[in-house]
Amino acid sequence: MGAESNGSLDLSVFLTGIPGLEAQHGWLSIPFFTVYIVAIVGNNLIMAAVQADPALHEPMYLFLSMLAVTEVGVSVSTLPTVMGILWFDARQIDLDGCLAQMFFIHTFSCMESGILLAMSYDRFVAIYNPLRYTAILTLPRIICMGLGITLKSVTLMAPLPVLLKQLPYCHTNVLSHSYCLHSDLIQLPCADTKLSSILGLAIVLATFGLDSLLIIVSYVLILYTVLGIASGEGRRKALNTCVSHICAVLMYYVPMIGVSVMHRAAKHASPLVHTLMSSLYLFVPPVLNPIIYSVKTKPIRQGIFTLFSCKRKLL
């Protein structure tokens, strides 16, 4: 596509599979599809367990079910194009579909970051003021926090596809991943993309940057509070309630930082390395979060067992 084409007309972009392993896409589809099944089924099990078990209608588990919603959202957003490439070599996608996918991936990722921050606040309240925990984090407040995070994410991400849609495209419209990301799409227009680039950076700083900073502050306050607990057993129990959330935070932010560093410091690295890093960022948290919370959190594990027990009785 050498000639300029208006962004408002029908325009297709081309996605990239796994560089260097195109001949193995059929075999690679098996582990990728397994990852999607584990992520979607695992997170849906957590949501179902929290909904079905009254004992899990506590702030910590309500936030966990919100996190599960975002994990399913991210997985469902990438599944059609990733599996389409691996199964059918379907690399072409129209611009509108690509922009829609970009919007949903980034919106759910932004929501996930906001919910991880809310969960760190939840852990701080539970440790700092356990007697007033449920009085502070009431159901209406939790719902308002969830709606606020959703509204913030949608409002911040909505301008990105709108701005990209208005631009003319004249380059070869090939993306470097199996899904559409803003950092990829912003390379395609042949007009000035400074506004989109600045807006994208501002959104990253206002969401992921600020959220991660506030999570660190929350854990500094948690650590300060825990050190003030007299008994060693009490300190251990308090910190143990944070282990699953700390794992979730690390699984979310470490791959994100890794992708960012790779894009800037290792631009000439193999395309396969870039693809694997991006895949870790999008695929690892949705798969491991339900596993970690099921293993480390006894009430969740019991809730899932109860869920299956009730289904067996119905059958």
% of the chain exceeding 70 in pLDDT: 93
- Which comes out higher in pLDDT, residue 273 or 199? 199
H/E run at residue 12 = strand 12-14
Tell me the pLDDT tens digit for each residue of 170-182. Answer: 767 899 899 999 9
**What is the SS3 assignment for 7?**
coil
Contact residues for 123 (Cβ-Cβ < 8 A; gap 6+): 60, 218, 222, 241, 242, 245
Which of 211-215, 228-232, 262-266 is modeled with the greatest confidence? 211-215
Per the CB < 8 A criterion, the answer to whether 117 and 215 are in contact is yes
pLDDT band at 263 (very low <50, low <70, confident <90, very high): low
pTM of the shown model = 0.93
Give 121's Cβ-side CA count (13 Å radius): 18
Is the pLDDT confidence value at 4 over 60?
A: no
Question: How far is the CA of 264 from the CAs of 212, 267, 274, in angstroms?
Answer: 20, 6, 11
pLDDT score at 110? 96
CA nearest to 175, candidates 79, 277, 275, 270: 275
CA gap 63, 118 in Å, rounded: 7
pLDDT score at 2? 46
Q: What is the CA radius of gyration of the chain?
A: 21
Least confident of 76-80, 142-146, 232-236: 232-236
- Which comes out higher in pLDDT, residue 7 or 186? 186
